[in-house]
Amino acid sequence: MAFAAAFLVSLVLAFALTPFADRLAWATGFLDRPAARKLHTSATALLGGPVVFVCALGGWGAARLLAPATFERDAITLLSGAFIALGLGLWDDRFGMQPAVKLLGQSAAIGTLLTSGEVPNFGIPPEIAGPVLIVLLVGLMNAANFLDNMNGMLAGLAGIALLAFGVHSASRGAYGTAAAQLALAGGCAGFLPWNFPRARIFLGDAGSLFLGYSLGASAVLACHGPSTGWGRLGAGLVLGYPAFDIV
């Protein structure tokens, strides 16, 4: 029941609140304006990412009310890093950002995962594993940003992937993480109808960065604890397309 609530509450909230985020974007200047290298021909709202995240928090909160045990450390790791990535992308959407500053912010988001104690031992020394993980997850966050160039692509892919990660987390007993992942999947599903051609609203850098982080962190957490063999296989399969797209 708690898992269903996480997904459905987030879905309904995102579907209902996305039009309000659209209006807020126009009022505050969060707009993606047409340019030579862009496909859209009119200014489009850029607050899709925040509405997905906020609605996912609502879904996760509903799950916690039904099952208080869904509050656990790795769920907070997932959501806190996503929040940092969201804030980074919001600033970039509104004011722009130098690549070096963006890289520093992405590393800060990933740092919440590295310092959580939830990163599994991949068989390499920790002093090597940390930098390698940062490079891989920064690459994934940027891959998600590239995927956002087609309406519905990133929200659809992330929703399916997070749903799969949520099922896996529940199967290994990580109920808080499962609720957070299912809530994020529900937020993507509720946002999706507003993101198809002609899209009223985009995820923006805020959405693509936080969803990219969420996918990467979910892949790492899937390798932690029991059933790690299936977790690693599933992580590779689910994240294969974004990696292929950036190459």
Q: Cα–Cα distance between 42 and 21 in angstroms, integer? A: 17
With beta carbons less than 8 A apart as the criterion, state whether 48 and 97 touch: no
Q: Is 145 annotated as a binding residue?
A: yes
End-to-end CA distance of the chain: 40
**Among 49, 48, 47, 62, which Cα is nearest to 3's?**
62
Q: Is 205 annotated as a binding residue?
A: yes
Q: Cα–Cα distance between 188 and 158 in angstroms, integer? A: 7
With beta carbons less than 8 A apart as the criterion, state whether 143 and 212 touch: yes
Q: Cα–Cα distance between 168 and 171 in angstroms, integer? A: 5
Whether the CA torsion 152, 189, 184, 25 is positive or negative: it is positive
Q: Three-class SS string for 3-45?
A: HHHHHHHHHHHHHHHHHHHHHHHHHHCCEECCCCCCCCCCCEE
With beta carbons less than 8 A apart as the criterion, state whether 186 and 56 touch: yes
- Annotated binding-site positions for Mg(2+): 145, 205
- Annotated binding-site positions: 145, 205
